[in-house]
Structure 1
């Protein structure tokens, strides 16, 4: 690296195609309080905050592969003291398959505002001073002008960042919705679902997958909170549970692997730890049985063909809450004509489980698609009187 680039007024680093740091300039090393040999060859994820690690894997890596460049992506590094360093990052892929990155630290807006107020007070004091203080006043006014220009630049950067963030959130929303599975309507089972995020992104995620000719896996998760951090975690969990369920492993293994994955994400950092409730059903239509685990999730409603109802209550704690938890499945048998309703608390908070039970009971003979429409209508009606906004998701299952 030449001397001019090494001491440039911005950070610069080169990554391998696998994300390892191949070179880094002195400016970025000073910014992060590291020595060169401490970072050389390390993965960039080792100096990113937890949310930025997820953002890097879910957006940076796919975008650099497809577009071969990235403009004005917001990330946060973690310096050697453990302090967060927010930055704007531009990157491009070279002909040698390396990734060159330029890093600009983001100065905090309130710092400029405080300096601006201090300069203004100095200017006002100078106006009241005697004639010999005029030079000090002129100096303060010049400083004020500089700060105003700096503040204008920060405002422009913030506006650009806001526009880019909105684009990124819209892209993330589309990616999240694309990952949701389509309805199933087969000879032995029918599945319908409803999903609506309270903001651009959701902390709810679900999936239902045919495993073989007579087995089906259905999962519904609700990550603590909602918005960007929860959505990033749901997408991280999605690829794992899709692979596990499709391979036909037992419910205990599905839950334990998801729990292990959440703990590995946060590595005992309690301030950033997230947990999520989940319910997983392994349905065997040949043996007419269901193995299920409910990890702290709202109880699913099971209604037999005669209209009798029972709940699939929690069998364990939410995943990601405690380490080394052992999950055990329960088994129930069913008859053809039974019906199931799984949901997140964003559905029960406005409606209540009693309303859902009544809707199931009163519309027992109604086709699944029409029952889904009735539940959505009830939700929309209750939301006029219920002001709390939350992600909403439910799954209806007919066992034929």
Structure 2
């Protein structure tokens, strides 16, 4: 390598570089422009020399240059990757990125402005495609969200219609707006004096879980018509799920199924209700009593439904007198994250304390209180949650 400089190669590099080059006088007039940029603009060098650089910009670009770019260049001495459109000879637009720096004299006065222009047509086209793809994805996400919400509503009763002498309220919190969960509940008549109810949680999410949930709800209601004994109903459901889903694609659920029987009490108008319920691996129901106490209706030992060869289910009995309320819930409530690491809401008995603090409470009041509690978990509530409360109103 010698110290000789081949000015012809330097001149060729300037004229035919893969980007446009301009030199501007301090007042913004074009002092020099390379062949590359002239070709992009379909203009001759003679027509550009002496012209104001702003004459190559669109009306909006000129405003931005005068109000933002030029002052910034004066203050900092450089511009980086400014996106503008240049006007070609046929008035079409050429999207470009502009970089510039200023040459100053010893006194700090600008004597020359160097400008590099990068063709941004492919980049702009890519950005448009990316934006359109994002919009398409958002439309698809919205469509999936509508379908998921519609399907989720189809798996839950549109409203609860309890019989005279019984109050009922429910709440469902979906963890995802675009994926169907497996929580479910229902309340339905069996006879003029008996009503069935259930609440549960199917394993998994999405369309597969929705199919299992639909089958589970249908089976529970149908089985109760033939034999309302809660243990028998769960065994019937266990048989159906084991038959339909086995081998490499097992599906199971946890569920509480119960029967309410109207008590006739001539000393009060409400009479109250006898409750018999059975659990298949589900968290125990809470009973909020009229005297301000609360406790669990123990069904410990009940096993998951649909996955074990000889599942064991446990039943229990209780009564709903005036102002007593029975609360069923899924584990989205008890397992909500409340702190750092694996800390869960009900790890230390917080739910029972919450129930005791709110007892006595009507079905609507305790569901509203639990809904507010769930809202306070924020991102810690990462699973679907369903709540069903059944209560006997006060004597009139």
Normalised TM-score (structure 2): 0.54
* Counterpart selection for 1:242 from 221, 224, 230: 221
- Contact conserved, 2:231 with 2:278, CA < 8 A, in 1? yes
* Counterpart selection for 2:240 from 258, 261, 272: 261
User: 2:225 and 2:138 mapped to 1: Cα distance?
Assistant: 39
1:324 aligns with 2:303: no
Matched with 1:63 is none
Instruction: Let me know the Cα RMSD of the aligned residues.
Output: 3.0
Task: For 1:115-134, list aligned pairs within 5 A.
Answer: none
Question: After superposition, what is the alpha-carbon deviation per residue over 1:270-327, rounded to whole angstroms, capped at 9, x for unaligned?
Answer: x321221111111112274211111111111112221232212334211012123353
Normalised TM-score (structure 1): 0.53
1:198–1:253 distance in 2 versus 1, CA, 3 Å: same
Task: For 1:196-207, list aligned pairs within 5 A.
Answer: 196-199=173-176, 200-207=179-186
Matched with 1:210 is 189
Bigger helix fraction: 1
1:188 aligns with 2:165: yes
* Counterpart selection for 2:210 from 202, 213, 231: 231
Note the C-alpha offset of 1:334.
4.0
Q: Secondary structure at the match of 1:390?
A: coil
Q: Secondary structure at the match of 1:371?
A: helix
Note the C-alpha offset of 1:343.
0.5
Larger CA deviation: 184-193 vs 321-330: 321-330
Matched with 1:376 is 371
* Counterpart selection for 2:346 from 346, 349, 352: 352
Q: Secondary structure at the match of 2:335?
A: helix
* Counterpart selection for 1:362 from 342, 357, 368: 357
Matched with 1:300 is 285
User: 1:296 and 1:280 mapped to 2: Cα distance?
Assistant: 11
* Counterpart selection for 2:258 from 264, 273, 281: 281
User: 1:246 and 1:194 mapped to 2: Cα distance?
Assistant: 26
- Contact conserved, 1:209 with 1:245, CA < 8 A, in 2? no
Q: Secondary structure at the match of 1:274?
A: coil
Note the C-alpha offset of 1:379.
0.9
* Counterpart selection for 1:390 from 364, 383, 386: 383
Matched with 1:69 is none
Greater C-alpha Rg: 2
Question: After superposition, what is the alpha-carbon deviation per residue over 1:229-264, rounded to whole angstroms, capped at 9, x for unaligned?
Answer: 222211121222222335562212210111011111
- Contact conserved, 2:228 with 2:259, CA < 8 A, in 1? no
Question: After superposition, what is the alpha-carbon deviation per residue over 1:102-151, rounded to whole angstroms, capped at 9, x for unaligned?
Answer: xxxxxxxxxxxxxxxxxxxxxxxxxxxxxxxxxxxxxxxxxxxxxxxxxx
- Contact conserved, 1:294 with 1:316, CA < 8 A, in 2? yes
Note the C-alpha offset of 1:347.
0.9
- Contact conserved, 2:295 with 2:352, CA < 8 A, in 1? no
Note the C-alpha offset of 1:332.
2.8
1:326–1:360 distance in 2 versus 1, CA, 3 Å: closer
1:177 aligns with 2:150: no
1:244–1:168 distance in 2 versus 1, CA, 3 Å: farther
* Counterpart selection for 2:392 from 374, 390, 399: 399
Q: Secondary structure at the match of 1:393?
A: strand
